[in-house]
Structure 1
Amino acid sequence: MADVPADLQAAVDAVLPDARRDLDGLVRIPSIWADPAHREDTRRSADAVATLAREAGAASVSVLSAEGGAPAVVAHWPAPEGQPTVMLYAHHDVQPTGGDELWTSAPFEPTERDGRLYGRGAADDKAGVMTHLATLRAYDGRPPVGVTLFVEGEEESGSPTLSALLAEHHDDLAADVIVIADAGNPAVDVPALTTSLRGLTNIVVEVSMLERAVHSGVYGGPAGDALTALCRLLATLHDDKGSVAVPGLVRGSSEVPGMSEEQFRGDAGVLECVDLLGTGSVEERIAQQPAIAVLGIDAPAVEGAANILVHRARAMISVRLAPGDSTESAFEAVREHLARNAPWGVGLEVSLHASGEPFALSPEGSVYDLAREALSAAFGSETVEMGMGGTIPFIAEFARTFPGATVLVTGVGDPASRWHGIDESLHLAMFRRCVLAETLLLRSLAR
């Protein structure tokens, strides 16, 4: 296993203090594009990233958006003669907090505890933004290859206008290699290249039983309530072991060794008395099998509930799709399952709310070899290839738009980062390793 050259280590260590300061500044901006109340904050976040790109020596910087879309930042460091161009992707928008009062420290006030930086976006994905910028600073704004920095502003909303943005600015974004810093590593000292991601289909299910709500004592018994019917219907989505029970969904397998059940329990916070769902290895259940969860139910609150039969109820379910499946066929499979299992002849409406295709990469070729070497040298341990249970729909979009480019999916998170959750955090020592790896990769890619 090769070492990172001493000059690169010194250059990275020299820029890390300012990178950390600027990461703190980005975390302080509540760039929740999905919330209309924070649209201006997201624009402010894009402007902040654009300023940082200029300070890092970019020859040109633009803040772009497709019609109705969030602001994205595109910056260029032109390629020296004969050298390839590398796109460095990250996103500056973040998830809602899930309740500020639930956080140990304020979600938009970056706070360091025990070697981790806590704050919304600290890991997902403002650390990715600053990994790219710190790498460019380590080269004093003169990287050995061409670089296009592309920082999106609506990834957490499903990138709805990304296709239009890529089409409109295709030539400006074209690259030989695309590095997407939006995944994770299995441990803070074990680097990974993510080679597969599950897809996502969010479905709204609505059942109706009565024309209107009626008295539960006068009519209850012969007349049922829609909320009970909905609960019975949702219960058919899993078997007794917790495996998804919808026929027609793709199920894969994996020979990649994954984490133990004990480690998974700790990382996920599963209560000691609760069984893990499904069968197969943890790796297979996370990355190669479908999963279904109920995200929310429209129903009367317990406090103040009246003695009436609810006439209509609906739920949002999230279906994660294994690589090899498609959102179209998965939606049809779920819709048919719900229709077959709807109890008591209830009225049923099933509609698609949002979707993102699953994706798999073939980690072969010289670029992947160089990436493995760079990651292993920076982390001091062998690089692993892993599937990811989450969904990043835009990766397939990049692959379709730039079919000649090699796509590398890396990340600055670990299982304790709690992406999208309460007390999201970044392991600061791992952040340094990620910057080292990317700095070394750019040098390795120079012909």
Structure 2
Amino acid sequence: MTTLTVDELRAAIERELPGVRADLEALVRIPGIAFDGFDFAPLERSAQAVAELMRGVGLDVQVSRIGDGHPAVIGRRPAPAGAPTVMLYAHHDVQPVGDLSQWESEPFEPTERDGRLYGRGAADDKAGVMAHIAALRAFGCGTDDDRLPLGVVVFVEGEEEFGSDSLPGLLAKHKEELAADVIVIADSGNWDIGVPALTTSLRGIVNSFVDVRVLQSAVHSGMFGGVVPDALTVLCRLLATLHDENGDVAVPGLVSGEAAPLDYPVDRYRAEAGILDGVELIGTGRIVDRMWTKPALAVLAIDSPRTAEAPNALVPAARAKLSMRLAPGDDPKSAYQALIAHLEKHVPWGAEISFELEHDGNPCAIDATGKYFDAARSAFATAWDGTEPVEIGIGGSIPFIATFQELFPAASILVTGVEDPHAKAHGPNESLHLGEFARVCLAEALLLHNVAEAAKSA
């Protein structure tokens, strides 16, 4: 088998991009949401559409699920003798659309504006699915001119946005089929438009609830106010202890670290985050440290009477949902206990307090050294016309990466992605930069080429 050259792969990606885009748009039109309360039939259609795409590039395909979980799709092709195997991961489920009035076009009707393709899942992560398909099509997979030089297994999950509850079971069930020398997880992003990146650290997560109670039931705010504390005031005072005067997390015992030596200009950060004029940033240290390697704590919601319905009565109980992000090196179980200890110490006026863990996930750090990481850097630099990739962290959490590290300790794990700082994943008007998507597709094809070549030199 004759190996394709870099120029041939570049030409092949250009040839395949129109069809890849058409298939991406077809996927975006399927509203596959794994959250409770939604119609799950579109997830089944989405899985079948992904399965057909995999069959089109000559893979042996199975749709798999654990119990009542949502469908994952696995496509596999064994490696030639002596060649490595690469696992290509993505997910086909998407976030709910939220407030439809905030969308400038229909979320499940892909729409191009100013070089970007808008639609829910256009970036996160159906473009990741199609980047994998594009790379395989570039090698002629599924045709008579098939020149893929290594083995591949494509693993497309169906409930990542809802917490990946089935993933441990899927990995255990298919461990032998999924085993690979290199794992490419296409669920992150790049540093900027025109600047590729490898993600080498991700924060962990602890989502939990705190409840406070002061009364058996509501009582008249005039007759008892001024003596009996109301639960909302108790909760507000308690939540205010979670940060110090600078906005740093004030819970003792959490891990902090230092991020990669990247400069994130304040003006760029404010613009990308959409911070209102006059609103100050919180925390101390470099922005990249605050985002990637220091803990963060946010109050996501408070259960309390609605203002339009609230009587003149002291609120007997209140609940808040907290989201704590953990630096690489921290442990979710010990971090949760540290949070409980802090809240128990600071609850005011002897109010009853209780806790409930919703879910947690491990942070991770990736040692991005070795021949396969070098192969990736070379592929990225070529696809971005000489711009070397930078190493970045992610403030968000993808806990299953730690699971991959545990199950496949010998594999090189490359966390890549199609998003850029303007993609607005999870928000209204999510979009994909089409020029960057073309580079991502080329980079993945070159990565497969480079991994095969690197294995020969071992």
* Cα deviation code 1:315-340 (max 9, x no counterpart): 11100000010101110110000000
**Pairing of 1:202-213 with structure 2 (within 5 A):** 202-213=207-218
1:87 is matched with which residue? Answer: 87
* Cα deviation code 1:338-383 (max 9, x no counterpart): 0001011111011211111000000110000010000111012111
Provide the rounded CA distance (Å) in 2 between the counterparts of 1:404 and 1:257. Answer: 29
* Cα deviation code 1:293-321 (max 9, x no counterpart): 11111111122222111111101110000
* Cα deviation code 1:165-190 (max 9, x no counterpart): 11111111111110000011111211
Query: In structure 2, which of residues 322, 334, 338 is the aligned counterpart of residue 333 of structure 1?
Result: 338
Question: Which amino acid in the other structure matches residue 308 of structure 1?
Answer: A
1:122 is paired with a residue whose SS is coil
2:121 is matched with which residue? Answer: 121
**Pairing of 1:125-140 with structure 2 (within 5 A):** 125-140=125-140
**Pairing of 1:389-428 with structure 2 (within 5 A):** 389-428=395-434
* Cα deviation code 1:137-189 (max 9, x no counterpart): 11121322111000001111221121111111111111111000001111121
Provide the rounded CA distance (Å) in 1 between the counterparts of 2:115 and 2:221. Answer: 56
2:40 is paired with a residue whose SS is helix
Cα contact 1:202–1:353 (8 A) shared by 2: yes
Query: Structure 1 length normalisation: TM-score?
Result: 0.97
Provide the rounded CA distance (Å) in 1 between the counterparts of 2:117 and 2:411. Answer: 34
1:57 is paired with a residue whose SS is coil
Structure 2 gap segments, 5+ residues each: none
Query: In structure 1, which of residues 367, 377, 393 is the aligned counterpart of residue 372 of structure 2?
Result: 367
**Pairing of 1:424-435 with structure 2 (within 5 A):** 424-435=430-441
Provide the rounded CA distance (Å) in 2 between the counterparts of 1:155 and 1:254. Answer: 26
Is 1:297 aligned with 2:298? Answer: no
Is 1:182 aligned with 2:187? Answer: yes
Question: Which amino acid in the other structure matches residue 35 of structure 2?
Answer: A
1:14 is paired with a residue whose SS is helix
Question: Which amino acid in the other structure matches residue 405 of structure 1?
Answer: A
* Cα deviation code 1:106-126 (max 9, x no counterpart): 111111111111111111111
1:30 is matched with which residue? Answer: 31
Is 1:217 aligned with 2:218? Answer: no
Cα contact 1:30–1:38 (8 A) shared by 2: no
Q: CA deviation at 1:228?
A: 1.3
Is 1:384 aligned with 2:390? Answer: yes
1:17 is matched with which residue? Answer: 18
Question: Which amino acid in the other structure matches residue 335 of structure 1?
Answer: I
Query: Structure 2 length normalisation: TM-score?
Result: 0.95
2:275 is matched with which residue? Answer: 270
Cα contact 1:241–1:278 (8 A) shared by 2: yes
2:45 is matched with which residue? Answer: 44
Cα contact 1:176–1:404 (8 A) shared by 2: yes
* Cα deviation code 1:198-234 (max 9, x no counterpart): 0000010111111011221122111121111111111
1:5 is matched with which residue? Answer: 6
Q: CA deviation at 1:57?
A: 1.9
Question: Which amino acid in the other structure matches residue 120 of structure 1?
Answer: R
Q: CA deviation at 1:255?
A: 4.6
Structure 1 gap segments, 5+ residues each: none
2:415 is paired with a residue whose SS is strand
Q: What percentage of aligned pairs have identical amino acids?
A: 54
Cα contact 2:75–2:154 (8 A) shared by 1: yes
Number of equivalences: 443
Provide the rounded CA distance (Å) in 2 between the counterparts of 1:282 and 1:309. Answer: 41
Between 1:138-147 and 1:121-130, the stretch displaced more is 138-147
Question: Which amino acid in the other structure matches residue 265 of structure 2?
Answer: S
